[in-house]
Amino acid sequence: MATRLSRTESYSLLALSLACFGILANTLQGEGEPLIASIAFSGLAFSFCYALIRWLGNAFMHRGFKGKDLCKLKQTEIPETMGAVCAMVYLSIIVVFIPWPFYKDIVAATSGGGNRDVMKEIEQVETGRLLHRFPHNKLASYLSAILSLQCIVLLGIGDDLFDIRWRHKVFIPAIAAIPMLIVYFVDFGVTQMVVPTPLRPYLGELLDIGWLYYVYMALLSIFSSNSINILAGINGIEVAQSLVIALLIVFNDCLYLFVTPYPHPATDSHLFSLYLLLPFIGVSLALLMHNWYPAKVFVGDTYCYFAGMVFAVDGILGHFSKTLILLLLPQGFNFIYSAPQLFHLVPCPRHRLPHLNPRTGLLECSRAEFKKPLTRPIAESLKLLHRLRMLDVEVDKEGTVVSCSNFTIINLWLVWFGPMREDQLALGLLGFQTAVGLMGLFIRHRMALLVFTQDNL
Amino acid sequence: MATRLSRTESYSLLALSLACFGILANTLQGEGEPLIASIAFSGLAFSFCYALIRWLGNAFMHRGFKGKDLCKLKQTEIPETMGAVCAMVYLSIIVVFIPWPFYKDIVAATSGGGNRDVMKEIEQVETGRLLHRFPHNKLASYLSAILSLQCIVLLGIGDDLFDIRWRHKVFIPAIAAIPMLIVYFVDFGVTQMVVPTPLRPYLGELLDIGWLYYVYMALLSIFSSNSINILAGINGIEVAQSLVIALLIVFNDCLYLFVTPYPHPATDSHLFSLYLLLPFIGVSLALLMHNWYPAKVFVGDTYCYFAGMVFAVDGILGHFSKTLILLLLPQGFNFIYSAPQLFHLVPCPRHRLPHLNPRTGLLECSRAEFKKPLTRPIAESLKLLHRLRMLDVEVDKEGTVVSCSNFTIINLWLVWFGPMREDQLALGLLGFQTAVGLMGLFIRHRMALLVFTQDNL
């Protein structure tokens, strides 16, 4: 892999960075304009991440973070775990961004008019800004988000270093969610859920589910992170699916921010969501440009955990966790579809990624071969799935099931549409995911009135 | 190295953990008693850290985190970077501890009397605890401390993985301090310093040093972390010196908490300091028991940065940064004493740790040999230092300086007191450090009146 930036790349990244710095300097003249600043920071995040992935590739390979691409004819080693670089750039950007959303409040706390040097009174000085109506709670929730994200990066790097066992690493996101949950407990402690209209006669308008609410948040983190980690195996799919989810959430946020005519009560939480997501889109784009077919770097588990945690934190602290679940439907389907192999009802080979046909250069679905005959109910279920076109089952002359395609949505796509090139496969899946996500959002906003008294849009 | 706990160790750690869990459960009956809870958490931190260092040693060696002990006859490889385990345990404990200091406030925000299930009013519920006088600012400063500590651990692991160059890694603590500084900026923004009495006619009572205050805080982080990293080289010295500093700060905190007769205005910030330090003492003790002569693990740069950052965060957010500098005097002296070699005025060999005499089994001071003759002013300065007993200089027949002992406090100790065993050397230095520290605290509290109008004790 090239470890230097080409001249074009250098100049483009430099120009982008300078433009972003210019925009940032401008925001400080006015009221901070946090959304504009966030966009500028995302541009910086993209540039830094793009350059660092290039520069650090060799250092990572030297330290043993490398792997071979099994879906290529020529299997050269390329750097692994580059998602950690992404995550570090993201964390730095998101920390440096902290003052912007609070710029107006900081100016209000000083003598105003941007003249920050002259404080009004000594007593005010000694107590800091406590006497002012500074939105400490917003700050605390922003900090708790960063804490949880830092935590997942630490644990993710630990996993990439030491190859933690599958049944242990499922819980990594739950551990990383602890900082957020604890700050949530200490600072807000709201554990009520709005009850759907049909159930109100029995449960009332709001149902306090108490500690179960924390379990729900932890489970959402586990689901969000692991579902992205499971839908993996071909170039670019981990990053691109995360980008699709991020863009759909941004689209949903924009509906609240720009379509509703008056300042909406949910404006703040959707701004918060944008502040977290825009830099994520920046670093992910930079990573995708290196990870798209043919991949020059791998992303590592760190990236999948990190991306999933960004969504979980965003959904929980932005108060749209149910919408988030809608957007994770393809990942959820992939998990349920994978379950028979994950829980070893059906034999599971070590790798389930598609198989490269060296003659055609196209990917074909990979298969699980059954050396021992399957039990009758399982064999019959597989045959049923085959008839439903949800699996490709191979049967010998006596009617015994010999092999079947592996239980992942990626292989299913190949069963449906036949062998294809790796990037076409990725594009197909991403198109499917986008369509499902847009439909989910449509349903969420059009049909919400059927189960709740009002849509909160 | 043994990778399992002996039966005695297992039972002792288990008993300690159970006792600590018992104490924690008890604190929830009353008002939370955060100090007692913190002590119990420190016990847990010790147990977890002790066990994990044992269990993870092999995994670290497999992943290339290993090194040879140059001060031993038999140079077997032992695990390196075990400070990262310490730091991770510390971070988990400190996160889980968050609710305790706020327990009283959480209970006050609900219906009181510990009955947390029944909230008073729906409106209150929807706004969370915002309407109550919840100490959000305390929470924010606690969270910013954790952010900075997580950040230094991430960067420290990066350094241990990729061997960042010396002139870059000096600044690692400053980068890690950014989260704390930004939260400080956003949430408090107090940049005034109390002016010493003699200077008041010129500068006034309080001097606003503006952005220089942030530079001061960043420099303190750099100094605190790197000074511990420089005073290193013999078994146990990094951890033990950190423990001495931590214990001296705890002693100072206790002066404020238990000696002053009435609730002191600084009570809160010194409690905060204890909450951060007690678990640190827990994990450091566990590490020291593995790192003390003869060492079974090495601590790595991560530990030194981490320890230094704990002190910096503690001193800055606990508002006793000047006292902290007093306690770091031996490290400061070691830095100034090292400067001629660090800045290459005098040739600096790759390793400056003491030299093992294989015949006696004792450590002797290591020497820098000068192949090229030194310039006259430098040679004369070295001879002067020799006469002051601050260096051991070897001179040939013509009076040319041939070699001198290396410029570290560890070698100076050997120059003063002759060859000795590694643990005696460490103990001597620690005794010296404790004496200097206690004297520093005495001066700070007895002499403060000479330069300030009042001691704040």
Is 70 exceeded by the pLDDT of residue B120?
no
Task: Determine, for residues A125 and B98 on separate chains, whether the beta-carbon distance falls below 8 Å.
Answer: no
> Which of B412 and B197 is assigned the larger pLDDT?
B412
Q: What residue spans of A63-171 are helical by DSSP H? A: 83-96, 103-109, 122-126, 136-162, 166-169
**Mean of per-residue pLDDT scores for chain B:** 86
Q: What is the least distance, in Å, from the CA of A187 to any CA of chain B?
A: 6
Angstrom CA distances, A8 to A5, A13, A82, A249, stand at 8, 9, 23, 33
Task: Determine, for residues B126 and A188 on separate chains, whether the beta-carbon distance falls below 8 Å.
Answer: no
Position A197, amino acid: T
Selected for mutation to probe chain A from B120, B186, B209 (highest A CB count within 10 Å) is B186
In this predicted complex, what is the ipTM? 0.86
Q: What is the least distance, in Å, from the CA of B55 to any CA of chain A?
A: 13
Minimal Cβ distance to A189: which of B106, B147, B153: B106
Angstrom CA distances, B289 to A383, A434, A438, B436, stand at 61, 55, 58, 24
pLDDT averaged per 10 residues in sequence order, chain A, 457 residues: 85 96 88 89 97 93 90 89 95 92 72 40 42 69 93 92 83 91 80 75 78 90 92 93 97 85 75 95 97 93 95 92 92 93 88 91 92 88 93 90 93 95 95 95 78 59
What mean pLDDT is predicted for residues B11-28?
A: 94
Indicate the DSSP class of residue B48: H
The pair of three-digit structure tokens given for residue A23, joined into one six-digit string: 């925009």
Partners of A78 in the β-ladder: A67
B107 touching chain A per CB within 8 A: no
Beta strands in B127-281 (DSSP E): 192-194, 206-208
CB neighbours of residue A432 within 10 Å:
14
A136 touching chain B per CB within 8 A: yes
Contact (CB, 8 A) for B193 and B209: yes
Kindly report the backbone phi and psi dihedral angles of residue A405, in degrees, each rounded to the nearest multiple of 5, phi listed first: -65, 150
Looking at beta carbons, which residues of chain B come within 8 Å of A88?
A: 154, 158
Q: How many whole angstroms separate alpha carbon B289 and alpha carbon B47?
A: 12
Q: How many whole angstroms separate alpha carbon A122 and alpha carbon A203?
A: 53
B120 touching chain A per CB within 8 A: no
A451 touching chain B per CB within 8 A: no
Looking at beta carbons, which residues of chain A come within 8 Å of B208?
A: 117, 119
B88 touching chain A per CB within 8 A: yes
Task: Determine, for residues A95 and B178 on separate chains, whether the beta-carbon distance falls below 8 Å.
Answer: yes
B11 touching chain A per CB within 8 A: no
Partners of B395 in the β-ladder: B401
DSSP H or E stretch at residue A403: strand A401-405
Selected for mutation to probe chain B from A133, A136, A180, A269 (highest B CB count within 10 Å) is A136
Work out the angle between the directed axes of helices B136-162 and A83-96 (0-180°, nearest 10).
150
Angstrom CA distances, B222 to B151, B194, B307, stand at 14, 23, 12
Q: How many whole angstroms separate alpha carbon A275 and alpha carbon A139?
A: 13
For residue range B150-196, what is the model confidence (pLDDT) as tens digits? 999 999 999 988 888 877 888 889 999 999 998 888 876 777 777 77
Is 60 exceeded by the pLDDT of residue B445?
yes
Task: Determine, for residues B129 and A102 on separate chains, whether the beta-carbon distance falls below 8 Å.
Answer: no
Q: Are strands B66-68 and A401-405 parallel, antiparallel or unpaired?
A: unpaired
Q: How many whole angstroms separate alpha carbon B39 and alpha carbon B282?
A: 9
Q: Which of B314, B256, B246 is nearest to B280 (CA)?
A: B246
Is 90 exceeded by the pLDDT of residue B113?
no
Residue A23 CB-density burial (10 A; 0-12 exposed, 13-18 middle, 19+ buried): middle
CB neighbours of residue B229 within 10 Å:
22
Contact (CB, 8 A) for B286 and B324: no
Task: Determine, for residues B206 and A125 on separate chains, whether the beta-carbon distance falls below 8 Å.
Answer: yes
Give the SS3 label for residue A112. coil
Work out the angle between the directed axes of helices B34-62 and B83-96 (0-180°, nearest 10).
150
Q: How many whole angstroms separate alpha carbon B189 and alpha carbon B363?
A: 50
Q: Which of B304, B269, B313, B311 is nearest to B148 (CA)?
A: B313
Q: Which of B216, B241, B235 is nearest to B307 (CA)?
A: B241
A130 touching chain B per CB within 8 A: yes
CB neighbours of residue A219 within 10 Å:
15
Residue B259: pLDDT band (50, 70, 90) is: confident
Minimal Cβ distance to A189: which of B98, B129, B185: B129
Q: Which residue of chain A is at minimal alpha-carbon distance from B140?
A: A140
Phi-psi sector, B15: left (phi>0), alpha (psi -120 to 50), beta: alpha
Q: How many whole angstroms separate alpha carbon B414 and alpha carbon B233?
A: 14
The pair of three-digit structure tokens given for residue B57, joined into one six-digit string: 């040693």
Q: In this predicted structure, what is the pLDDT of residue A127?
A: 45
Task: Determine, for residues A189 and B59 on separate chains, whether the beta-carbon distance falls below 8 Å.
Answer: no
Q: What residue spans of B292-357 are helical by DSSP H? A: 300-317, 321-327, 329-342
A·B CB contacts under 8 A: 145
Non-local CB neighbours of B318 within 8 Å, separated by 6+ positions: B253, B269, B270, B272, B273, B276
Torsion of CA A255, A257, A261, A265, to 10 degrees: 110
Beta strands in A195-251 (DSSP E): 206-208
Report residue B4 CA to chain centroid gap: 29
Contact (CB, 8 A) for B117 and A208: yes
Torsion of CA B320, B323, B324, B326, to 10 degrees: 170
Burial B287-316 (b: 16+ CB within 10 A, else e): bbbbbbbebbbbbbbbbbbbbbbbbbbbbb
Partners of A355 in the β-ladder: A364
Q: What is the least distance, in Å, from the CA of B297 to any CA of chain A?
A: 18
For residue range B61-101, what is the model confidence (pLDDT) as tens digits? 998 899 998 888 888 899 999 999 999 999 999 999 998 88
Q: In this predicted structure, what is the pLDDT of residue A262?
A: 60
A265 touching chain B per CB within 8 A: no
Looking at beta carbons, which residues of chain A come within 8 Å of B186?
A: 98-99, 102, 106, 139
> Which of B210 and A26 is assigned the larger pLDDT?
A26
Q: In this predicted structure, what is the pLDDT of residue A130?
A: 43
Q: Which residue of chain A is at minimal alpha-carbon distance from B162?
A: A59
The pair of three-digit structure tokens given for residue A29, joined into one six-digit string: 């003249």
Q: In this predicted structure, what is the pLDDT of residue A115?
A: 39
**Residues 157-176, chain A, touching B (beta carbon < 8 A):** 157-158, 161-162, 175
Report residue A446 CA to chain centroid gap: 25
